[in-house]
Every structure is written in C-alpha cells, then in structure tokens.
Structure 1
C-alpha cells in the first residue's frame, strides 16, 4: 500500500462532506418569496397576430414551437399566481 493512501482518503471524505453541506443550501427556492408573482408581459393584438403568422411559416418540427409552448405554460402559471395572490 502506498504511503499517501490515507491522504487521499481524508481528501475524499472532506470533499463528500463539503458537497453535502453545499447541496443542503441548493434545496431552497430563492426565485421569489411566497405570495409574490413574477410580472406578466403584455403583448398587443398586432404582435400576437404577427407571432402566429411567423409560427405558421416555420418548418415542420421546428424546436422553437416547443419552446413557445413551454412559454405559454409559464404565462398560464403567472396568471394563476396572480389570481391566488394579487400583487400589492
């Protein structure tokens, strides 16, 4: 057994302990305090029509369509948040 095996074992144990402490902090959601909703961006009717036309012109299977669908879900969540806890 090489003479430095104990050194590596201590280092590995220390890294595990540090990782556990740091991951404990990551469990806290720091985006916004409870009851505070993010702002909802408002788009004009003309902008909405333009986006719909641009989306219709996209090739079949375009990735941006999936992303915009995800964005629509987020907007729905913001609206739901506003209904539950109106901002001051």
Structure 2
C-alpha cells in the first residue's frame, strides 16, 4: 500500500502539469482508394453478374464488395467536408 501512495504524487503532478487548453487534436480521415473502371468494363461485369446462377456465392461476395465501395464513398465525402 505504501508504494502505491508513492506513485500517486508523481502521477498527480504529471497529470496536472498538462494544459488542456493548449492541446490541439488533429483528426485525419484516411479512406481506402476505390478502383475506377471504364464503362466497357462495367458493362461486361454486369453481363457476367447477370449470367450467374441466382444462388451463386459470387453474388453474395459482389454484394459485399458493393457495400464496401459505398462505405468508402461515404468516408471520402466526410473527409472532404472535414477539410
């Protein structure tokens, strides 16, 4: 118990020595890059997607990928508005 009391004083001094008014917090939003595809490639991908069986696992994966791309777009929009 005695050694704990010895730690309290230096820790208290350390914490009270900080001036929270002079500290600036900088938050930088970093979003992953989105690959851009030309219209021809997008049309080909859509045709291939439509050719998949309705119960294809690839449909699930592609849906997840779309959600990630949508989330990145939101992230980028927030980052642009914060700048």
Query: In the TM superposition, what is the alpha-carbon distance from 1:77 to its structure 2 partner?
Result: 0.5
Matched, 1:67 2:61: yes
Matched, 1:79 2:56: no
2:51 corresponds, among 57, 73, 77, to 57
Corresponding position of 1:36? 30
* Contiguous gaps of at least 5 residues in structure 2: 1-26
Structure 2 CA distance for aligned equivalents of residues 68 and 34 of structure 1: 29
Query: In the TM superposition, what is the alpha-carbon distance from 1:58 to its structure 2 partner?
Result: 1.1
TM-score calculated relative to the size of structure 1: 0.57
Structure 2 CA distance for aligned equivalents of residues 71 and 37 of structure 1: 15
More helix by share: 2
Query: In the TM superposition, what is the alpha-carbon distance from 1:34 to its structure 2 partner?
Result: 5.0
Structure 1 runs of 4+ with >3 Å offset: none
Deviations 1:12-69 (A, max 9, x none): xxxxxxxxxxxxxxxxxxxxx8511110110111111001100111122000011000
* Contiguous gaps of at least 5 residues in structure 1: 1-32
Considering only aligned residues, what root-mean-square deviation do their CA atoms show, in Å? 1.8
What count of residue pairs does the alignment treat as equivalent?
Answer: 55
TM-score calculated relative to the size of structure 2: 0.60
